[in-house]
């Protein structure tokens, strides 16, 4: 299941990607523009920073800026950074053995859906989402 935290991380990254390269913004401005709860953004930014995608500076003249090309950050990477491996259903987890695997009529359907979902997440980048934000005005 994809959490709200992962959604907010993606939205925050897309927001940062709408800014000119190197331009900083404050977390307050991101919260105001994107309606992200400030406490969640405060939890997410260190994780995103530790991944090397953003840089942050405290104090006067400080702020947050992307330091990785948003065209190189996929939704899948972002979701997995925040939530861990993406699985449409728990029966696809390797660590959760299921006695019904050999005869389950749903397993192939879940597997196909999983593969298609991951393909969409892998091909969609933060840069594409930023373009959608800009177009939406």
Mark 83-120 as b/e (b = at least 16 C-beta within 10 Å): beebbbeebbeeeeeeeeeeeeeebeebeeeeeeebee
pTM of the model: 0.89
pLDDT for res 101 = 65
pLDDT for res 16 = 98
Q: Are 74 and 17 in contact (CB under 8 A)?
A: no
pLDDT for res 96 = 60
User: Among 13, 10, 35, which Cα is nearest to 25's?
Assistant: 13
Tell me the pLDDT tens digit for each residue of 98-123.
Answer: 666 667 888 888 889 999 999 999 99
Alpha helices in 1-137 (DSSP H): 4-17, 27-34, 38-50, 75-83, 107-123, 126-136
pLDDT for res 105 = 85
Which residues does 34 contact at the CB level (< 8 Å), separation at least 6?
8, 11, 12, 15
pLDDT for res 17 = 98
DSSP symbols for 49-85: HHTTSEEEE-STT-EEEE-S-GGG-BHHHHHHHHH-S
Regions of the chain with pLDDT less than 50: none
pLDDT for res 93 = 66
User: Among 128, 97, 125, 93, which Cα is nearest to 110's?
Assistant: 93
- Four-way CATH pick for 4-84+125-136: 2.60.40.650, 3.90.420.10, 3.40.50.11890, 1.10.10.10: 1.10.10.10
Q: Report domain extents, the chain.
A: 4-84+125-136
């Amino acid at each position: 299941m994809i959490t709200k935290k992962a959604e907010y991380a993606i939205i925050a990254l897309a927001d940062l990607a709408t800014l000119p390269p190197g331009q900083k913004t404050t977390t307050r401005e991101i919260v105001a523009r994107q309606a992200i709860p400030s406490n969640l953004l405060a939890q997410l930014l260190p994780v995103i920073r530790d991944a090397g995608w953003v840089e942050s500076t405290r104090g006067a003249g400080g702020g947050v800026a992307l330091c990785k090309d948003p065209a190189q950050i996929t939704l899948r990477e972002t979701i997995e950074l925040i939530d861990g491996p993406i699985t449409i259903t728990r029966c696809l987890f390797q660590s959760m053995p299921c006695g019904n695997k050999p005869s389950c009529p749903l397993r192939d359907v879940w597997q196909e859906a999983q593969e298609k979902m991951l393909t969409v997440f892998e091909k969609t980048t933060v840069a594409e989402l930023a373009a959608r934000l800009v177009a939406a005005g």
